[in-house]
Amino acid sequence: DVKVTQSSRYLVKRTGEKVFLECVQDMDHENMFWYRQDPGLGLRLIYFSYDVKMKEKGDIPEGYSVSREKKERFSLILESASTNQTSMYLCASSHPPGLAAADEQYFGPGTRLTVT
Amino acid sequence: AQTVTQSQPEMSVQEAETVTLSCTYDTSESDYYLFWYKQPPSRQMILVIRQEAYKQQNATENRFSVNFQKAAKSFSLKISDSQLGDAAMYFCALISNFGNEKLTFGTGTRLTIIP
């Protein structure tokens, strides 16, 4: 079974702190994604990566950065956490489009981040 | 740009009955995939069903089926014989097959199953 794991289920940080959210997948997927999930807004893409050291901005990249040094690991970084970044963060991975079973994204359990 | 709209924030259904969740979308691409994802309370999001736009036949997975109306850009999910374990947030999502690897989600429908 595909497994996507995230470093924490719950996290509480203070305003201004630097926050690292880690995601690891074990299916050798090329693509990895970070979303934030807010009630009434669904999932919004923050960043995605289609290869090691490659990244592209999603729909809401402001206030975030990412790092992908290894294929299986994709980190989301909040350089200076703010209260409006309190949210559920979901990581996902997939093969790129064009493969037989492409496009299904496999999700991690999520990290509920509270910034106080 | 592609958009996905779910106009029903909440739905409820009696156990063993049938329920249909609505989804409309917009894309300029001719080749794309549509998905329904399920997010049970405090559990991971999982894929329920997938539809490829070039296939006219509606996808079916056990009790889950879709009504795909390409011209109307509509993609509804029908759950038959609803079970307590079907209670979840359901998200409709869209991805284009070429050149755009971004999955666009709707805002979700919370489904409650009434025993």
Q: Cβ distance A88 to B89 under 8 Å?
A: no
Q: Which pLDDT score, from 0 to 100, does residue B80 have?
A: 98
| pLDDT tens by residue, B57-87 | 999 999 999 999 999 999 999 999 999 999 9
Q: Which of A50, A81, A83 is nearest to A65 (CA)?
A: A81
For the cut 60, the answer to whether the pLDDT of residue B100 exceeds it is no
Least CA distance to A106: which residue of chain B? B46
Chain A partners of B103 at a C-beta cutoff of 8 Å? Answer: 33, 45, 103, 105
Torsion over CA: A72, A51, B98, A33 (sign): positive
For the cut 60, the answer to whether the pLDDT of residue A99 exceeds it is no
Least CA distance to B1: which residue of chain A? A59
Q: Which of B102, B49, B45, B35 is nearest to A108 (CA)?
A: B45
Q: Which residues of B touch A (CB under 8 A)?
A: 6, 9, 33, 35, 37, 43-47, 50, 91, 95-98, 101-103, 105-108
CA distance B84 to B104: 28
